[in-house]
Amino acid sequence: MSTKTIRIFVTLLLVVSAALFAIGVAIERNSKHTEKHAALGVDYVLAADQHAGESAAHRAAEQKHPKSAAPTKSGHAPSEGKTGHRETGSESGHTGESAAQLTSEKKGERVFGIDIESPALVASAVAVSLLLAAALWLTGSILAPLALAGFALVAAIFDVREVFHQIDESRTNLTVIAAIVAALHLAVVTGALVLARRSGRTHSVSAAP
């Protein structure tokens, strides 16, 4: 395979991987936004059902215990216990579960302490990919393919970590996208190292007396 063909191959891999990365982040953001609204809707329904149950219980208690107690000096009848709104164990437990779920989602958005869903990070990753692809064509230095190999290797590590994260979240579509991006980045590493090796040989031959 010629050097030009490998450059074309690596360039295409970079462009496709960058596009899939951006698409995957957009899908994940949209899915989390939808899940958040769905969770809020469930909380609202549960709260409404609970308040309805408490109101029914309150009415039943009033019917069971009519106003038989004599009023006090202040004009209010003594009560055995107020049946006002109380935060039940189920409600507090549900609230705690929601808070824990939000905390887990916030932690899940970070890979090795880096927020991979940050718009700035996504734009930077795509820009670096395109710049390194352009460097392969604009310069014959061995540094360009080596820098590309290093960048793609780091990206592949993040991609593999993201695959396991999406498996834990049971998101099949995002798991597949992350796995494809990881494979593309590993292929870029291989192609970039081949280009670096050929570039090194070319410089050695040209430098020979």
Model confidence pLDDT, tens digit, residues 69-79: 445 555 555 55
With vertex at residue 144, the alpha carbon angle to CA 139 and CA 149, rounded to the nearest 5 degrees, is 150
Average pLDDT on 117-130 reads 86
Average pLDDT, rounded, for the chain = 75
Provide the β-strand partners of residue 115: 110
Model confidence pLDDT, tens digit, residues 33-45: 565 545 455 555 5
Give the separation between CA 117 and CA 207, rounded to whole angstroms.
46
Look at residue 180 and tell me whether its pLDDT is greater than 90. Answer: yes
Model confidence pLDDT, tens digit, residues 92-112: 444 454 544 445 455 446 666
Output the pTM of the full model: 0.63
Contact 16, 180 (CB under 8 A): no
Model confidence pLDDT, tens digit, residues 7-17: 999 999 999 99
3-state secondary structure of 167: helix
Q: How far, in Å, are 142, 163, 187 from residue 190 at the CA level?
A: 15, 21, 5
pLDDT given at position 3: 87
Q: Where do the DSSP E strands lie in the chain?
A: 110-111, 114-115
Query: Which region among 16-20, 56-60, 124-128, 166-170 has the lowest average model confidence (pLDDT)?
Result: 56-60
- How sure is the predictor about 182, in pLDDT bands with cuts at 50, 70 and 90? very high
Look at residue 169 and tell me whether its pLDDT is greater than 70. Answer: yes
